[in-house]
Structure formats: C-alpha cells, structure tokens
Amino acid sequence: MASQRFLAVDLGAESGRGVVAEFDGERVALSEIGRFETGRGREDLGPDGVRRWDFARIGGEVEALLTKASGDGALHGVGVDSWGVDHGFLNADGVLLAPPVAYRDLSHAAAHEDVLSRITREELWDATGIQPLSFNTLYQIAARQKDSPEVLDRARRLLLIPDLLHNVLTGKRSLVVEGTNASTTQMQRPGVGGWNTDLLDRLGLPSHFLGEVVSPGSRVGETLGGIPVYAPGTHDTASAVAATPVKSGERWAFLSSGTWSLLGAELPAPVLSREAMKRGFSNEGGVAGTTRFLKNIMGLWLVQECRRSLAKTTGRQFTYPELVTLAEAARPDGPLIDAVAPRFLAPADMAEEIRAACAETGQTLPADAGALIRCCLESLAMAYRLSLRDLGRLLGEEFDVLHVIGGGSQNLLLNQWTADACGVTVKSGPSEATALGNALGQLVASGAVTDWTQAREVSRRSADVSTFVPDPARQAQWAQREREIVKLWAK
C-alpha cells in the first residue's frame, strides 16, 4: 500500500510539537517538524489575577504546524492530544469566552476545599471513580462559579484543550469532547461513562454546557482544506498507553513519564474499592473501552521547576543532560521527599519547597544542583516503588515488567534507579509514545488499521525499546531506604 501521512499534535505543559507519522502498512515512522513553548500560565496573569493559557498563540502555532506538514506532502489526517482537565467555554456564536485557566492556578485549591465541605470523598469516589485532586475540572468550574459566574451563564459548550483545537482546525464546526480526556474531569460516571449531572446538581454547579462525548479513534470533522480531523486518545497518557509495545504473556504495568508521572495498569473495567480510593488511584478512560487504573505522581515537573529555581539563584541555565550528570555524581544517601504530596504542585520556588520538606523531616538539605536533582529523581524512584506495590496488591497481581513510556523514558539514570527500586525489569520506550499513540488513533479512525488491537501490533513493530534489569544489591539498599524514609515521613 502507498504510505499515508498523519500529523500528530502533542501538547505538554512545557512545550507543544508537531510530529508527522508516516504509515507504510506495517510500521509508523515519526519525524518532528516543529516545536513551541506552551507556557504554564504562570506568567500569563489576566486582570483578574488568574493564570491562563495563551490559547490564541497556541492555536496559531498548531495551525502553522498544519500548514507546514501540508506543504511537505499530502496529509491523510490531523489530531491533537494534551494534558487533561483544562478547558474553555464557547458562547452561542462559538466564540471562546475567555482564555482557558491553567490547572495550577491557586484559586482551585479553595474551590476544592469548598466542594469537599459539602460532599464526602467517599461519595465523590463512588460517583466518579476519580481522586479529588484540586485541579480537576469539577473544582475549576466551582472556582469559576465564584469568580466569574457570568462566563458560566453565557457558556453553551465546554471543550477540553484538544477539543478546542479540533474546533479551531475545523473552522469552529467540531463541538464534541473525546472520552479519554473527559474522564479526567471528575464529572463522569465510572465505567459506564456519561456526564454525572446528578453530582453537579447536588453541588449546585451548572451542566448545560456539557455536550456529546465521542470515543477515541473518531472523526470529528475536516479542515477548511479538506483534511480529516480525528480525535485520538486526546488525553496524552491515553495515547501513550495505547502505544505501549506490550508482548504477549507479559505481566505488565505502565509508567507514563513526563511532566507528570502516571503509574498504573490497563484494565477491562474500573476498580472502585475503598482501598483503591485510599491508596490514591483513579479510573480514567483508555482506548477500546479500557480503563487506565493509575496514580498521579509529580513527575519530572520537580526537575523542570528546580531547573528554573537554579537559573534564578546561580544565573546558569543548566541543560537536562547536565543536571542528570550532576545528579549521578552526587552522594547516594541524600534526602527523599514524598513525590505525591500536593505541596509540590505549584510552589513559588521548587528548590526552596524541597529544602523545606527535607528540613521538616530532619534530613540533610540538598545544597547544590547535583544533590537537588538527585533528590528529585530518587524520590520519584521511591514513589514508583511504593505505587507499583500498591497497584499489585489492589489487583492481586505481580508485575515482572514496567513499561516506561514518554519523554522521561530517555532518562537512563532514572530508568535504572526505577528498576532497582521496584525490583522489576524496566522496558523504556518509545520516548515518542504519545505522538505514536496519537497517530495510531488516527489510523483506527481512518480505517488504515482494523482496530486498536491491530494498532498495538503496529506499535510493537515501530517502537525502539531498551531494557534495564534490577541489581539485587541495589534492591536491598532501596528496601532499607524505604524503611528509613517511611519513619521520617510519619513524624
């Protein structure tokens, strides 16, 4: 068959990029054609003091990527994925009422507390199967009801970030929400799906702007130039997990590693036990009707923000490889922080927040760049160890392979520490799992492959994977470190 070309637009909290995926009937070859900063909304404070995404700029960058990809040859489709929960409201004329609020905006914490004063965590869990994280869409809407109720009144449709961009690409004709991202809002029923309007009614929150939800691998329209626009798994982790190159017979879990780390398993149905709730796991939508049963961990956001902190205090803009080299050379018996703790979501200065956490637990403060980054990476490895063990206990399973996918899979040092800490074989790659999964969703939607099962076979043929085997001696060291740190964290 003749090769087909698709444009996968993959947006992260730090940067967005366009990747052309060329499918020859057997494999997908990826080539990045452009990258731009998305910003985190930290500096984009509006007159109301709210952190917002510069959506007009982001939309313009995406349209420029489409123009570039089209100029290099015929395109058979385009689709967008991004982080979850963030959204915008369109009015009756299809106009965006305000730039989307960034999920790290501090107003969401107060709204979160207010909602939890009116409904128990257990009731929220039963209604949604999602952990009540302060940045979830549910609490964002509660915050908007307090600070800008006129926007909610005028809103006729809520669209999440990828859906908003599909709306832009189709000339404002696409008004649907894709299901994997919708599942992150904490406004859907677990398993069966669909908006939980009963929950919103109970909380006194409007729901009139909630529209149709479509499955990943759906056509949502076409550009003005006639290029099909497809919704892949629009939540970046959903696309990444869809591209995991699993082999038959593997007892596997996934770790999507990027700004966030999401560790979990792909299941046929949600897990709604009270123990799953207590252990901090969520049930998010996957492709082909699956559930991504996972836990949110702060991820390489810790390193990204420490890099910003170091730039301010040292005047030096370290590269990420430089930071990893410094971390490897630092002392191995340094401090550890709880990489799941909400305090690291949006601190004013990450390095100072980490040092404060170390001081509170009586640990040595990481003084220089190497010690600071080593603290971040080893703390992530410890969080993976604890979370993978919880996952196995909740599911009654043992895992022998942890697939590390996404950009963080390129961190070879963290991969080895993760293998040692977790005591399982780590298979890292593809680093471009999200873009590959986005492309696979377009292959399914376009009919280039029969279904998601065939799409994963394409992924296995397309992906480069590296293997990291745990060292028994270092496993014992991690077990001892766990005993020590748990005592310190408990104080």
Residue located via tokens 């510069």:
54
User: In whole angstroms, what is the distance from residue 455 CA to residue 216 CA?
Assistant: 13
Single out the catalytic residue among 236, 338, 390, 420.
236
For 283, the 3-state DSSP assignment is strand
Contact 425, 470 (CB under 8 A): yes
User: In whole angstroms, what is the distance from residue 68 CA to residue 70 CA?
Assistant: 5
Contact 187, 200 (CB under 8 A): yes
For 22, the 3-state DSSP assignment is strand
User: In whole angstroms, what is the distance from residue 429 CA to residue 405 CA?
Assistant: 5
Per the DSSP assignment, residues forming a β-bridge with 10 are: 17, 81
- For residue 28, with 0-12 CB atoms within 10 Å meaning exposed, 13-18 middle and 19 or more buried, which class applies? buried
Provide the token pair at 295. Answer: 């836990």
User: In whole angstroms, what is the distance from residue 119 CA to residue 35 CA?
Assistant: 43
User: In whole angstroms, what is the distance from residue 434 CA to residue 440 CA?
Assistant: 10
Known active-site residue 236? yes
Peptide bond into 245 cis (omega under 30): no
Closest CA to 478 of 355, 365, 371, 332: 332
Which residues carry out catalysis?
236
